[in-house]
């Protein structure tokens, strides 16, 4: 691929399709180099951390090149396609098979344009451009300039007389200043001067010879010097310090993998965003979950009645138990509005929401998503039924927009559709409560003093204990259960 320098070539960059997202994966290209495109034509489908989105091109022209192949994750703001808006003068360039365009451009750059050292590939990461110096090998000769500089620094730090004895070796220095200079010269020139028996004594006593001031001829460390260093380092308190025995460190065995019988799936898109959100929520908001088991026989009878009768204006929309559960939760929130809130960590404030964007957790082929019904608190039952039907259908088709998954305040997750009795759901980030609905089963139940088979389910309400205390959470859950047990309360409480 070559760089586009013609003024007639327009580069289309990866847009931020999800309000603050930083990257997206190219799922499918709908055009190829040489194809004619028009303003508003969809050229590719990308998957962000929240949804799959189709991208329209804002130009009229001919595709010159596709900078990235399908399956590549591209940062927002990076050019992904070049379009010749003059009509396509010049031969189109083939789409890359595997490598990103940026890598190809770098490979074809002129020799003088190449950097002199490895450059970081991510902000804050990479190899430093500055050169490093290898320290001298053990026993190697130290340059005289280093010795002279060290001696001069030591002399500048002491006052005294330096006496010459007529020799040219280290013994030319005498007195305290001379001894200090000898130690400095020895430290710079290499290992301290000491005979093997003295070195063994120092090792047995735990003395570092580089810290010992030599008193022997020509700066040699003696046994007396080692014992003197031990005496100076001895603690003032004669009692020995008793330490607890150290338990042996057990090294965990390294994880083993069998590549022939395992499959690795890259974590990206919706799955990556969900994982990050759940970890952040679980370790930020203190979760509390409460449970209640309730007889919903009357609610199921009301659902069947609403399906059959045309007078309730619910023809053409899907009526199911989730509709009445959602309505029950909205009524409970209306009675206890403090549960509809969020925690502002930066300002240390509780934000009370005077609207309810009701989230509905949906399992899709790309992972779990939680779109929400905007202003659900203002909707009538038929309007709520229509919104629920559209939300579920859009999610199953993978067409949920990023905007539909933002701004939720309270969520419902229906784990009962998988045959699960209940669960302890994790809060979506920024929300104060989530209601889990278990499977509805025919169970023995005491009804009017007699044990009868009744339709029973278990509800679980998880809430952020920074915002919601036990009393408030219990009242909301109890109200939802009361409405599902006696649906007539919708008339008196709504």
Cα–Cα distance between 473 and 287 in angstroms, integer?
A: 11
What distances in angstroms separate CA 368 from CA 173, 212, 362, 437, one per listed residue? 80, 67, 6, 16
14 in helix, strand or coil? Answer: coil
Please give the angle made by the CA atoms of 162, 168 and 174, to the nearest 5 degrees: 25
Residue 102's alpha-carbon distances to 75, 112, 129, in angstroms, are 12, 18, 21
Cα–Cα dist 51/366, whole Å: 8
The active-site residue out of 227, 287, 336, 465 is 465
Question: CA–CA separation, 39 vs 169, rounded Å?
Answer: 87
**β pairing state of 358-360 and 410-414:** parallel
Three-class DSSP category at 198: helix
Task: Determine contact, residues 467/344, Cβ cutoff 8 Å.
Answer: no
Catalytic residue list contains 465: yes
Q: Which tokens hold the place of 43?
A: 């050229």
- Strand pairing partners for 351? 342
CA separation for the pair 388, 382 (Å, rounded): 10
Residue 120 half-sphere exposure toward CB, CA atoms < 13 A: 8
**Alpha-carbon distances of 476 from 287, 303, 338, rounded to whole Å:** 16, 22, 10
**Short-list 359, 363, 362, CA closest to 373:** 359
Give the count of beta carbons closer than 10 Å to the beta carbon of residue 369: 21
Identify the H or E element spanning 445: strand 441-447
Quick one: DSSP state of residue 172? G
| Residues with active-site annotation | 465
């Amino acid at each position: 691929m070559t760089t586009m320098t013609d003024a007639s070539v327009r580069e289309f960059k990866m847009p931020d399709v999800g309000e603050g997202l930083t990257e997206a994966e190219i799922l499918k290209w709908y055009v190829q180099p040489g194809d004619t495109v028009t303003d508003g034509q969809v050229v590719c489908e990308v998957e962000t951390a929240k949804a799959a989105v189709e991208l329209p091109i804002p130009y009229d022209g001919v595709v010159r090149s596709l900078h990235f192949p399908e399956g590549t994750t591209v940062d927002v703001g990076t050019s992904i396609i070049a379009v010749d808006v003059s009509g396509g003068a010049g031969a189109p360039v083939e789409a890359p098979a595997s490598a990103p365009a940026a890598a190809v451009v770098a490979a074809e750059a002129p020799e003088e344009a190449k950097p002199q050292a490895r450059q970081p590939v991510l902000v804050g990461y990479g190899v430093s451009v500055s050169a490093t110096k290898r320290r001298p090998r053990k026993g190697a000769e130290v340059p005289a300039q280093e010795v002279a500089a060290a001696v001069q620094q030591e002399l500048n730090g002491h006052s005294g007389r330096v006496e010459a004895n007529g020799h040219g070796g280290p013994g030319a220095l005498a007195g305290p200043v001379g001894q200090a200079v000898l130690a400095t010269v020895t430290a710079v020139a290499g290992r301290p001067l000491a005979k093997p028996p003295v070195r063994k004594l120092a090792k047995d006593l735990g003395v570092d010879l580089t810290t010992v001031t030599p008193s022997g001829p020509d700066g040699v460390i003696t046994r007396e010097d080692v014992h003197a260093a031990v005496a100076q380092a001895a603690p003032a308190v004669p009692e020995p310090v008793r330490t607890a025995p150290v338990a042996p460190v057990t090294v965990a065995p390294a994880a083993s993998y069998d590549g022939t019988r395992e499959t690795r799936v890259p974590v990206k898109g919706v799955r990556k965003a969900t994982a990050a959100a759940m970890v952040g929520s679980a370790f930020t908001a203190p979760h509390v979950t409460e449970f209640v088991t309730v007889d919903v026989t009357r609610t199921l009878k009301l659902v069947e009645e609403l399906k059959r009768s045309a007078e309730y204006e619910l023809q053409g929309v899907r009526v199911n138990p989730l509709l009445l559960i959602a309505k029950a939760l909205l009524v409970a929130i209306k009675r206890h509005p403090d549960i509809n809130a969020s925690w502002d960590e930066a300002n240390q404030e509780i934000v009370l929401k005077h609207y309810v964007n009701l989230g509905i957790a949906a399992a899709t082929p790309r992972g779990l998503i939680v779109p929400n019904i905007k202003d659900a608190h203002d909707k009538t039952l038929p309007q709520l039924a229509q919104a629920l039907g559209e939300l579920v259908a859009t999610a199953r088709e993978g067409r949920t927009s990023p905007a539909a998954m933002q701004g939720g305040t309270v969520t419902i997750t229906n784990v009962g559709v998988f045959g699960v009795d209940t669960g302890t759901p994790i809060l979506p980030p920024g929300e104060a409560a989530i209601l889990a609905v278990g499977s509805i089963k025919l169970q023995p139940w005491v009804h009017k003093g007699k044990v009868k088979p009744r339709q029973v389910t278990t509800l679980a309400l998880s809430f952020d204990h920074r915002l919601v205390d036990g009393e408030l959470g219990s009242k909301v859950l109890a109200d939802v259960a009361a409405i599902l047990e006696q649906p007539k309360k919708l008339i008196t409480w709504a």
